[in-house]
Each structure stands twice: as C-alpha cells, then as structure tokens.
Structure 1
Amino acid sequence: MQGTSIKGITKDELLSKTIMVPEYAEQQQIGVFFSNLDHLITLHQRKYEKLLKVKKSMLEKMFPRDGADVPEIRFDGFTDAWEQRKLGDIVERITRKNESLESTLPLTISAQYGLIDQNEFFDKRIASKDVSGYYLVRKGEYAYNKSTSSDAPWGAIKRLDRYECGVLSTLYIVFRILDEDKVNSDYLVTYYDTDLWHKGVQAIAAEGARNHGLLNIAPADFFETTVSVPKDIEEQRKIGAYIMQLDNLITLHQRKYNWYR
C-alpha cells in the first residue's frame, strides 16, 4: 500500500487511526458468536436451496409427461390412468366487480410469492385510487397473470391464500373450482407450479403474442386449455399435501435465512 491512498486518506493516516478493542476474552466470545451465526446462515441457505431442488424434481416426476398417462413417481395404492380435463369443465370464470368497495387491497401476482399486496411487493401502489371497477377476488380463488418474466415465461396462475379478499385489474383472468369434491384445490395449485400447462397457453397465444410483456390470450381460449388430473380425489389430495408441505419447509428456511442475515 505504500505510496497509495484511499479516498484521500494516506497510508500513514490510515495506520495512525485508533479503534476500540475489548479484552481478549471478550474478543473471543464475539468471534465465536458471529462464527456460529455464519454457520446458521449457511445451514438455512443450504437447506432452502436443497428443498427447492427437491420440489423441482418432484414436480417433474409426480405428473405424467411426454404423452404418458401415469407419472414416474406415485403414491402407493393408485393405479388408474390420469385424465385430461378441459379447464372450463372443472372451474368457472369470475367477473365479480368490486362495486360496493368490499376491498381496497390492490393485488398483483408474483411467480415466487403468489397473489400479494401491491404495496408490499412494489413498495408502492400501482392500482388506481378508484378500484370499484376491479375484480373482487376472495380467498381460495385463482387468477392468471398474463404478464411474462424470466421466472414465468407464460405468465403465472396462483391462488389467493394470504388475504380474505383483494382486488385485481380486469386484465387478469379470475376463476374458482366448480366442485372441490372432484378437484382438490391444493392439487390445482401444485399443477400450476409445474410447466405442464405452458404448452396449452403457448398454443392459444395470438400472433404478436407479447405486447410489452403481456400475452394476448382471450379468456374463452384460456378455459379451453387442459389439465392433467388423477381420477381419484384422494391421490389429488396426497399430491397437493406433499408439495404444500415442501412449500412450508422452503418458506421456513427462507425466513430463517433472511432473519439471521
């Protein structure tokens, strides 16, 4: 460092600075504390990353692919071939407007966080002040965000879980399951975590599909896409519960990692 300076401070000036130093025993305790903290941070980061890989692998193996009618990995006791169901046969579109201002919570859809408060996600409100013309979405209902990103090349389909209700722009396609005795809600959430539905959306996207990152997809065409579904509702429940449990563990280690940091 001789003959150099850092932001106007010469080597001699830097070396002449004094710093506060505790007794050696206290230094050791401080060092051990931060060493343990670093270990915890690394531990939760590794667990988080490992669980993400496990989820990705299971999503690929627990659903039929490449024309197959059964998945590579399956829970014991289930042998029936899966069905291809038209989305419009198992869900209904929601066009309920927020005319009575039941909610003023503006929502957006994140591929990572799902349906989330705009203020929390963007650190600001994007929606207009008057949200009476927005769709009113209730807990347990789904929405399709046609905006594309690196994480969601064909948009994102998510269920509202965080809040009792909220409002969404009419650019979104909102829907709910017709009969939860036939289609398990957690299963459908899990299905839309895979990339299996991308092919169907890709097929209906109009020419010049991307306008400022927004896919040109008509709701009627969207509901013509198909969903791969086990015939047995119990198999649906088991798949949904398994992936949801993984999601909970992923969230737990992500929160601990962020907290310790």
Structure 2
Amino acid sequence: TKGDMESKSVTIPNIDEQNQIGTFFQHLDHLITLHQRKLVKLKKLKQGYLQKMFPKNGSKFPQLRFAGFADAWEQRKLGEITISFDSQRVPLESSTRQSGSYPYYGATGVIDSVNDYIFDGEYVLLAEDGANIVTRTSPIAYLTHGKFWLNNHAHIMKVREGSDYFLLSLLEKIDYSKFNSGTAQPKLNSKTVSGLNVMIPTAQEQMHIAALLRSLDKAIALHQRKLEKLQELKKGYLQMMFC
C-alpha cells in the first residue's frame, strides 16, 4: 500500500554520490538502449532482405537481385538438391552420455555436450519433431561447424551444389505446419522432407545471397553479445554499488 511504501526504510548516500551513481547508470542504460535499437534494426533489415530476395506467391523471380543475375529460379525437390546423412545419426540416452567438449544436437539445436563426435564440418540440420514445427517460436534449422554428435530428432543434410547457408535460410522460410505427419506431437518424416518443393537459383547466386545473409547474422550476433555483456555489467554494478 501507499502507507507501506512511505514507511519503508532505505539506505542512501549523500546527494553528490547519488548524482554520480545516477549519471553512471544513465550512461549504461543509454548504451544498452543503443545496442537494442541497432539489434532491432539489423533483424528488420535481414527480414526485409529475406522477403525480397526469395520468390513468393508462386513467382520464379525475387523482387531484389544482385547485378548479373536474371534467370528464373527453378523448382526442385529438396531430396534432389541435397545429400541426406540421416542414416549416420546415433541417439544417446541421457544416462549413457559422458560430458565433454563436443556439441550434442537435437531438434532444438545444441542440447548437451559429449566426449565424442560422429560428424565433422558444416551441415544443415532441420528439426524432425517437436511443437516448434507448428508454433515456430524459435529457429527450426541450424548450421553446424566442426565436430559434433547428432541424435535422431533432427534431419542432417548438405546441398549438392551451392551454399549450405543459403539452404539454411531457405528451410527457415518454409511453413511446415501443413506437412506435419505426427499424431502425439508434430513430426516431419524423411519422406516428407525429401519431397518438399523448393525454389532455388544457380549456385553462384546462392553464394551471393548467402554472403549477404551471413554478414547480417554476424552483425546481429555481435550486437547481441555486446548487449548481453552490458546487461551483465549493469547487473554486477547494481549489486556492488548498493548495500
């Protein structure tokens, strides 16, 4: 109540110290807000490019293209343009996993770390099951780097010709809700994934699109890390500068 708030005892320093502390945190808040705004702008910029650089509404031509590219995009089955490595997946029960330095991937990305690996390199992973197939509240496709282990809850593939990073972006744009074959929970089986119709440009154009999107993702990740560091810094100072 108002009375409870007015009667509550607080510990405060003198006016000069209050002003210095206030100015310090005002500066930190300004930096945090600045990085938040940059992050929002970069994400909107990427979303805009994704909408304009990929054909939509049955078209074979995107709105925005790099100079030198004018050919129509081609409709292909996903299984025709990718190599599947699903047969090499090995699930590990949580009780048998030994902790280590290698990422252990599942439908939602990295879910643990283990002491061994079965894949090494850049691959594209696509969730095989889980509510996110329908809700899409988080990424559904992931790009791997280096050594890792993969269970049987995510499909694994590489593009035959072109860019895996382009494939990653392509898979993220698909609405999978109509391809759900699960009963107890949403699922994308291998046959469904292989038969997905996708529109793709030449390998060279894929590379150009991928380079642009990769640079935007790097900038987004950089500002995200800076934002998190500033937020942690503020939290630490709040703990140390107040009784």
The residue aligned with 1:47 is 38
Deviation at 1:18, TM superposition (A): 6.4
The residue aligned with 1:122 is none
| Counterparts in 2 of 1:49 and 1:139: CA distance versus 1, 3 Å | same
The residue aligned with 1:227 is 198
Q: Is the 8 A contact 1:148 1:155 kept in 2?
A: no
1:190 to 169, 194, 205: 169
1:252 to 222, 227, 239: 222
Answering whether residue 124 of structure 2 is matched by residue 142 of structure 1, we say yes
Could you say which structure has the higher helix fraction? Answer: 2
SS at match of 1:166: strand
CA distance in 2, matches of 1:40, 1:188: 35
The residue aligned with 1:211 is 184
Q: Is the 8 A contact 1:137 1:174 kept in 2?
A: no
Letter in 2 for 1:221: T
CA distance in 2, matches of 1:72, 1:86: 23
Question: What TM-score do the two structures reach when normalised by structure 2?
Answer: 0.77
Deviation at 1:155, TM superposition (A): 7.8
Letter in 2 for 1:205: N
The residue aligned with 2:80 is 89
Structure 2 counterparts to residues 1-261 of structure 1, below 5 A: 4-5=3-4, 11=7, 14=8, 17=9, 19-22=11-14, 24=16, 26-94=17-85, 95-97=87-89, 105-110=103-108, 115-116=109-110, 118-119=111-112, 136-145=118-127, 146-149=129-132, 152=136, 156-161=140-145, 164-178=146-160, 182-194=161-173, 197-198=174-175, 201-206=176-181, 209-212=182-185, 214-215=186-187, 217-231=188-202, 233-261=203-231
Deviation at 1:226, TM superposition (A): 2.2
How big is each residue's C-alpha offset from its partner over 1:84-116, in whole Å with a ceiling of 9 and x where there is no partner? 1211112122121559x9986422344xxxx32
Q: Is the 8 A contact 2:78 2:195 kept in 1?
A: yes
More deviation, 64-73/28-37: 28-37
Question: What TM-score do the two structures reach when normalised by structure 1?
Answer: 0.72
| Counterparts in 2 of 1:76 and 1:109: CA distance versus 1, 3 Å | same
CA distance in 2, matches of 1:253, 1:245: 13
Choose 1 or 2 for highest CA Rg.
1
Query: Superposition RMSD on alpha carbons, in Å?
Result: 3.2
Letter in 2 for 1:218: N
CA distance in 2, matches of 1:41, 1:155: 25
| Counterparts in 2 of 1:82 and 1:23: CA distance versus 1, 3 Å | same
CA distance in 2, matches of 1:33, 1:170: 50
Q: Is the 8 A contact 1:105 1:166 kept in 2?
A: yes
* Number of corresponding residues: 221
Task: Point out where structure 2 has 5 or more consecutive residues left out of the alignment.
Answer: 92-97, 232-243
| Counterparts in 2 of 1:246 and 1:158: CA distance versus 1, 3 Å | same
Deviation at 1:23, TM superposition (A): 6.3
Q: Is the 8 A contact 1:103 1:165 kept in 2?
A: no
| Counterparts in 2 of 1:103 and 1:87: CA distance versus 1, 3 Å | farther
